[in-house]
Amino acid sequence: MSLILDAWRHSPTHKRVWALAAPMILSNISVPLVALVDSAVVGHLPHAYQLAAVAVGASLYTLLTWAMGFLRMGTTGFAAQAAGREDGSALRQVLTQGLLLGVALSALLIIVALPFSHAALALMQPSAELDDLARHYFQIRLFGLPAALATYALIGWLLGTQNARGPLAILLTTNLLNVGLDLLLVLGLNFGVAGAAWASVIAEWSGALLGLWLARRALSAYAGTIDWSALRRWLNWRPLLAVNRDIFIRTLALQLVFFLITVQGTRLGDSTVAANALLLNGLLLTAHALDGLAHAVEALCGHALGARDRVGLRRTLIVSAGWSLFASVGFALFFALAGEQFIGMQTSIDSVRETALEYLPYLALLPLLAVWSYLLDGLFIGATRAREMRNAMLLAVALSLLLGWTLTGLGNHGLWLAFLGFMILRGLTLGGYAYLMTRDDLWFSPRS
């Protein structure tokens, strides 16, 4: 207990955590802001299937892009450790590898995207109107895919160098531009669902170009050159690809859970899938805010591990855990007390609003259950311990799918109960791995 209190009282650690977390929280909150504006704008169009189409189309696009989230997470850990060693050449190599992977993967995803969307929509069995609009929205969003993946690598690299202002500039520019274009194209020019999609595409390319300029500026602070011949040797790609492979599997499993929520909700009707999307916007808001603290954990823990600073590692974790808990309680109270206004802000469609309010208590519980997995994700990403993250996620998903299957008779209530169970299992499985690694002193030891 004395170690915990001593760490919590260490004011320089609080300052370091918030120096990274505050701008990341501000920038991260702008991400769900876009989803909220999409819902608010499209949710005030006449038909529920228009809002549902954006929810379904965005879910398909998010499944593709967030499955590539390893481009950010893997890059952050390696960049943080290189910054801890003050190795400018390694920083250049990590950034270049991340961008090259982003370009290659976007080309691959565009090839498989259309057959994937056809199969996914067939599985969902949507109404004819919803199916047509969702396909159109998704196909437009693919034009922004290369920019989205490049931005992942750029944000991860900047964060790893403990540069939180860069990601803040990128995300605020991207998402505020998206909001402005949303209002212009959907409401001002009456482009409907297609306008919401084009707003996102233009914003994604703007953010990627800004990120490239910021990364070039940031590199001037680190001496070193990139060894282009090293990029042609497989040995120099293996560490990054091994971590990215495991994070990819972990992220794909996570996205499978959200995708299945959309699938099952769609089968329960247009109003249900639209209502679930509004509630998940609340989770998105919570997750991105709490991820600001998790991003600080990634950068500071990665730096501490690179510098082999055990005390700094412990202080970062304790201070970040305390602030994460306070924030999760705040979000839970917000949804419990102002949830009706939160839903009403997003839609004026009575059937959707009434359905969302029925399941609102589940959203109020989510921040308290999910906070621990976000915090522990930050630790494992900073340590580039992706294998443990992968195994924990696969175990949590497997158990949650079993739980969901047993609760199918409860309809949408069963779906939300299974989702709450999944969030609990995420924290427990990651916590179990963290305990074992701490007990055996594996955080600083070389991998077997």
DSSP secondary structure of 221-287: TS-----TTGGG-GGGTHHHHHHHHHHHHHHHHHHHHHHHHHHHHHHT-HHHHHHHHHHHHHHHHHH
| Residues 279, 359 contacting (CB under 8 angstroms) | yes
241, two tokens: 């690809």
Nearest C-alpha neighbor of 81 from the set 14, 157, 6: 157
Whole-angstrom distance, CA of residue 341 vs CA of residue 339:
5
Q: Tell me the torsion sign for CA atoms 428, 431, 437, 443.
A: positive
Domain layout of the chain by residue ranges: 2-439
Angle at CA of residue 317, ends 315 and 319, nearest 5° = 65
Full pLDDT tens readout for the chain, 448 residues? 666 777 777 788 888 888 878 777 776 665 556 656 666 676 666 566 666 777 777 777 777 777 777 777 777 777 877 777 777 777 888 888 888 888 888 888 888 888 887 787 777 666 676 777 777 888 888 898 899 888 888 988 888 787 778 888 888 888 888 888 888 887 777 777 778 888 888 988 999 999 989 988 878 777 767 777 766 676 667 666 677 678 778 877 887 888 777 777 777 777 787 788 888 888 888 887 888 888 788 778 877 877 787 888 888 888 888 999 999 999 999 999 998 888 887 777 788 888 889 999 999 999 999 999 988 988 888 887 878 989 999 999 999 989 888 888 888 898 899 999 999 999 999 999 999 988 887 777 655 4
Rounded to two decimals, what is the model's pTM? 0.68
Task: Please provide the DSSP assignment of 401-412 as one string.
Answer: HHHHHHTGGGTH
